[in-house]
Amino acid sequence: MIPAKFDYLAPTTVADALAALAEHGDEAKLMAGGQSLLPVLRLRLNAPEVVIDLGRIEGLSGIREDGDVLVIGALTTHDEVVNSDLVKTHAAVLAKAAAQVADPQVRHRGTLGGALAHADPAGDLGAPILALGATLVIEGAGGSRTVAADDFFVDLFETAVGEDEVLTEIRIPKHTGWGAHYEKFVRIKHQWPIVGIAATVRMNGDTIAEARIGLTNMGSTPLRARSVEGNLAGSPATEEAVGAATAGVADGTNPPSDLNGAADYRKHLARVLTRRAVLKAAGR
Amino acid sequence: MTATAEETTAEVGREIGKDRRRKEDQRLITGRTRWTDNIQLNGMLHVAMVRSPFAHATITSIDTTAAKAAENVVGVYTGKDLEATQGVCINAWPITKDQVAPTHTPVAIDRATFAGEIVAVVVARSAAAARDASELVDVEYAELPAALDLKEAAADTVLAHPDLGTNKSAYWVFDSSEAGTGGDVEEAIAAARAGGIVIEREYRQQRLIPAFMEPRSVVVDPTGEQITMWSATQIPHILRFALAATTGVPESKIRVIAPDVGGGFGGKLQTTPEEWIVWDLARRLGKPVKYTETRSESLMAAHHGRDQWQKLTLAATADGTVTGLKVDLLADMGSHISLVGGGVPVLGAFMFNAIYKFPAYRFACQTVLTNKTWTDAYRGAGRPEATFAIERIMDELAVEVGVDPLVIREQNWIKHEEFPFTTVCGMQYDSGNYEAATEKAKQIFGYDALRAEQQERRARKDRVQLGIGVSTFTEMCGLAPSRVLGSLDYGAGGWEYASVRMLATGKVEVITGASAHGQGHETAFSQIVADRLGVPFEDVEVLHGDTQVAHKGLDTYGSRSLVVGGEALVRAADKVIEKAKPLAAHLLEASVDDIEFGNGRLTVRGTDKGLALTELALATFASHNYPEGMEPGLDADSTYDPVNFSFPHGTHLCAMEIDTETGEAKMRKYTCVDDIGNIINPLIVAGQVHGGLVQGIAQALWEEAVFDDSGTLVSGSFVDYLLPTAADTISFDIAHTTSPATSNSLGTKGVGEAGTIASTPAVVNAVVDAIRQFGVNDVVMPCTPERVWNAIQSGGSSEGAAQ
């Protein structure tokens, strides 16, 4: 498991990282926590000439409030997200999903920004980021720009981050007081989800006032189930009503078929698991 | 601790049965030890393998120019380059006289026969340089049709080795009427068709990957008089023999060392192409050479296990007393007949009758060559397969008769008072008590309460249904009486060797030929010797795994180390005491007949005069004063050949919760009561049972080596080959009953494989039990949520494995 030879750069500022990217172009690969990149290198599935390690850049990690927004630095580890009171209070579905990423070792090294930029459709964190309507801050030579989560995931392992850009921050509108649940369906614990459902709901008594639903591994990118969200608004939080409201969650999705299940089975799972996730998020 | 308690701990006889933490764990767990890959030698070169991506292809050309020119590369060799010197990988167990087996050259010469076979090797000054250059070797292949599906391969539709003209390797039969050990199975089936019950089932034993923790690694140092090979192997002694037998180097010039070895599960019970290649390269280049496989290579090219189709016909009376069992097996050997690969199904042949009194039995097995990774022993080797099939079909019989699965078993099992019992296979079971183990298991499990809950959930059509699975297993351990192995055409014996060296400083060195690879021999064997010789546990050092230290041995597999190796050790220790008696008599000026041994001391009967055994060891070191005719020294050794196998048994009960909406199978409770005879170290036993259970449960629920239509291993990493961790298991209830083995003086039976053998059918029986109400009578392993859900939906078996 020896990677092909590469040069290693460890810039200490975003500007230096951008300069390195500009110099090496598509021969370079950014590394955050390395939990997805290193296996790829070791298996020689990819052989970049330069690896640019973002880990020495000050200020890219940490969680803070900015008014109605929670700001998470791209290099914040999953473990920090899981244990953050701010995240648990204002973006609980993200904390719950991050708690189920891989295993403890990976959660201590892997980062939120790295996972999102890697854009594995089976990654656990795209779905909650979509559900929470986050905004992603991307820095490039010309300064920084923001992209809505809806526009961030372009395709399999492809995002709105350009080859000469760096994802620096994830800005999440506070969902204070929203119930949340991440329903991850796996055969063994450290597996990528066969299907994952991120659900967060705002309750009004026994009624679901608002719901946000993100789907993991139901297509080439994480998906947001807007029509289901619409159905759920105003729905009573009962098994029957939620079941009816979420029945169409798999419509129009294009999940993969692999050793863990055929596409049709995944669609079936998505229906069952979305109902369950919403009910759990609603405290039922 | 009170003073009394401390005195008690020092008493002789206290070590056996004690929960000793393992001596070896600190170094094994921290990795601060001599794993093969840790070995660094002056001038050492490194090897990377070039492997075929095709399951079956002619090698049309190999261009090594670019690789040879790469930085720090010393040489690049193809099969043709090494043809004269590389030797062959051996098959030590041709199960029939006319067994068909292709020649197994370490590097393929003109044809690759599975995806992962080595076609060229690169030697460089660093492992990284070798790996880089291996990508520069340009191999051109002409793809050939590949024999991939076992049943199709058995029909010779596509040939794995066209030159052999068939894929059928060997057809091996045991028939109780021919052997004179039982009746005619066809008669039994005919009678049952007329007025009883006949159940026919076909079960699939999926292919598994042993997936030991330490990837295989080998170092060969050709400098000096002996050529030394370090290898992460279970079998240093067999390896040394095979090297001598196939490469022409005298055995006396070969030293093989298995340093600390990180697991094997049978997967390192092999003589590998990689070992032969490194051996050849080191001798060719005159320098130490190392190869350590990657995990990807390990999954693809270290031998796989299981992979059988099992067709069973069970005949019984209308009330469920079994009158005959017929077994027809197809066993996938993969591309080559490996060290004992052909023998694996044969090891199962004597176990399909399990704990039952079947009057008639016939077993027939066809071993088949395919273009997949070759198969061989994997934890249990043949016996898990047999146990799975019989325990599954006994459940089917219970359903047919309409009784509890434990009732049908009791009706058919050997009663305690019937031991020793000669089975329909001619095996003599020496001891056992199935009633006691079952009763204890039922109590701990809460069998009746769980059955009631099952009924209750069924009645209210709960989304989560409960299933209860039973497995009352036995196995043959302590491989093996050499004469029996001879009668089965096995190429070696089954004895074991031990030696006890009394050092002048009062310490004791113990040598065992059973080379451990994680089992804890150093601890358990220390306990045995400490008790036997009355010396402190800490003063015993157990040495193994180096053919210049343990010059004889047959290594570790088949739950044999304690049963066979432990007995050799007891006999060697007893010889030490006998040797010490005349010396003690001489020094104590007493008659040898008056010398008694106890608590580590040799004393003169009826007096307070005596000497510690360790004092006598010092006396023999100086040898200033010893009896005429005695040789100085107390050291002794023993080679022990067992007279019988041992037969551990147990009752395993498993409760599974099936989410009928998703098909997810979740373990609720698992209880096992194993009768493994006397226990040396309960802590080690618990570890073996826990690990064994998880490995067997993993076959039922998670693991499968899957190949695609072109013969590429799809489950080629741990992303797709699902190895469970502690996070995936529950706390097991483990307990024991004890019927000591009568075949060895410690009364032990062996425990290395029990959990794996027993647990797979317990889990699948539980899964099927939960969803039988929907018309399901089988779920193919691994019982994935999708398969379980599909079975519920279709109201039948998943993927048509059963009728």
Task: Identify the closest residue of chain B to A275 by CA–CA distance.
Answer: B661
How many CB pairs below 8 Å do chains A and B form together?
59
How buried is B402 (Cβ within 10 angstroms: 0-12 exposed, 13-18 middle, 19+ buried)?
exposed
Residue B598 pLDDT more than 80? yes
B296–A43 CB contact, under 8 Å: yes
Instruction: Note whether B706 contacts A: Cβ–Cβ < 8 A.
Output: yes
* B768 backbone φψ class: left, alpha, beta (φ>0; ψ -120 to 50): alpha
pLDDT at B8 exceeding the cut of 80: no
> In chain A, which residue's Cα lies nearest the Cα of B783?
A187
- Taking CB atoms and an 8 Å cutoff, what residues of chain B touch A2? 127-128, 131
Cα–Cα distance measured from residue B89 to residue B271, given in angstroms and rounded to the nearest whole number: 7
**Pair of tokens at residue A267:** 């669609």
User: Is there a contact between A185 and B131 if contact means CB atoms under 8 Å apart?
Assistant: no
Query: What is the model's pLDDT at position B294?
Result: 96
The CA-based angle A176-A181-A185, given to 5 degrees, is 160
A-chain residue closest to B718, CA distance: A191
Q: What single DSSP character describes residue B15?
A: S
Half-sphere exposure of B304 (CA within 13 A, CB side): 35
Q: In this complex, do A103 and B725 lie within 8 Å of one another by their Cβ atoms?
A: yes
User: How many Å lie between the alpha carbon of A46 and the closest alpha carbon of chain B?
Assistant: 13
Q: Indicate yes or no: CB of A259 within 8 angstroms of CB of B701.
A: no
Cβ neighbours for A260, distance < 8 A, ≥ 6 positions apart: A187, A191, A194, B784, B786
pTM, two decimals, is 0.96
Distances from the Cα of B431 to the Cα of B196, B380, B748, angstroms: 32, 20, 11
The percent helix, strand, coil of chain A (3-state, each to 5) is 35, 30, 35
Find where tokens 């050309």 sit: B61
CB contact under 8 A, B727 and A44: no
DSSP B162: G
What is the DSSP secondary structure assignment for residue A206, as one 8-state letter? T
Sheet containing B665-675: order of strands = B464-474, B649-659, B665-675, B733-736
- Of B114, B45, B103, the closest CA to residue B74 belongs to B45
For the ranges A65-69, A170-174, A245-249, B798-802, the lowest mean pLDDT is seen at B798-802
The DSSP annotation for B512-578 comes to ESS--SSS-HHHHHHHHHHHHHT--GGGEEEE-SBTTTS-S---S-TT-IIIIIHHHHHHHHHHHHH
- Residue B720 near chain A (CB below 8 Å): yes
CA B408 to CA B387: how far, in whole Å? 16
Instruction: Evaluate whether B289 touches B178 at the Cβ level (below 8 Å).
Output: no
With an 8 Å Cβ cutoff, are B662 and A189 in contact?
Answer: no
HEC-encoded secondary structure of B237-304: HHHHHHHHHHHCCCHHHEEEECCCCCCCCCCCCCCCHHHHHHHHHHHHHCCCEEEECCHHHHHHHCCE
- Report how far residue B160's alpha carbon sits from residue B164's, in angstroms, rounded to the nearest whole number: 9
Tell me the average pLDDT across B336-349.
96
Q: What is the rounded average pLDDT of the residues B166-170?
A: 98
Q: Do B727 and A189 touch (CB under 8 A)?
A: yes
> With 60 as the cut, is the pLDDT of residue B9 above it?
no
- Contact B715/A at CB under 8 A: yes
Q: Which residue of B has its CA nearest to A270?
A: B662
Q: Does any CB of chain A come closer than 8 Å to the CB of residue B291?
A: no
Kindly state whether B717 is in contact with chain A, defined as any CB-CB distance less than 8 angstroms: yes
Q: What mean pLDDT value characterizes chain A?
A: 97
Please tell me the distance from the alpha carbon of residue B232 to that of residue B229, in angstroms, as a whole number: 10
For residue B214, the distance in angstroms to the closest alpha carbon of chain A comes to: 13
Virtual CA dihedral for B408, B411, B417, B418, nearest 10 degrees? -100
Residues of A in contact with B294 (CB under 8 A): 1
The predicted model gives B582-589 an average pLDDT of 97
**Structure tokens, B1:** 């601790």
B294, A5: Cβ pair inside 8 Å? no
How many whole angstroms separate alpha carbon B58 and alpha carbon B53? Answer: 12
Q: Write the pLDDT tens digit of every residue in B671-701.
A: 999 999 999 999 999 999 999 999 999 999 9
For B115, phi then psi, to 5°, come to -75, 110
Token look-up 């494995």 returns B801
> What are the Cα distances from residue A232, in Å, to A127, A176, B527?
18, 19, 67
Please report the pLDDT score of residue B13 as a whole number: 56
Q: Do A261 and B296 touch (CB under 8 A)?
A: no
Per DSSP, the residues of B439-493 read HHHHHHHTHHHHHHHHHHHHHTT-SEEEEEEEEEEE--BS---HHHHHHTT-SS-
pLDDT for res B800 = 41
Residue B633 touches chain A, beta carbons under 8 Å: no
Strand pairing partners for A63?
A: A72
Q: Quick one: which of B688, B521, B723 has its CA closest to B28?
A: B521
Q: First vs last Cα of chain A: how many Å apart?
A: 47
Is B132 in Cβ contact with A5 (below 8 Å)? yes
Which stretch of DSSP H or E encloses residue B154? helix B150-154
Task: Judge: B715–A190 Cβ closer than 8 Å, yes or no.
Answer: no
Q: Which residue bears the tokens 């695609």? A: B708
Between CA B70 and CA B72 the distance in angstroms is: 6
Identify the DSSP state of A177: T
B646: left (phi over 0), alpha (psi -120 to 50) or beta: beta
B775 CA: distance to closest CA in chain A (Å): 20
**Which of B394, B389, B422 has its CA nearest to residue B409?**
B394
How close B204 comes to chain A (CA, Å)?
A: 17
Is pLDDT above 70 for B3? no
pLDDT tier at B802, thresholds 50, 70, 90: very low
B773-796 pLDDT tens trace: 999 999 999 999 999 999 999 986
> Tell me, what's the pLDDT at B1?
33
- For A17-55, what is each residue's pLDDT tens digit? 999 999 998 999 999 999 999 999 999 999 999 999 999
Residue of A nearest to B698 (CA): A188
- A4 contacts in B (CB within 8 Å)? 132, 135
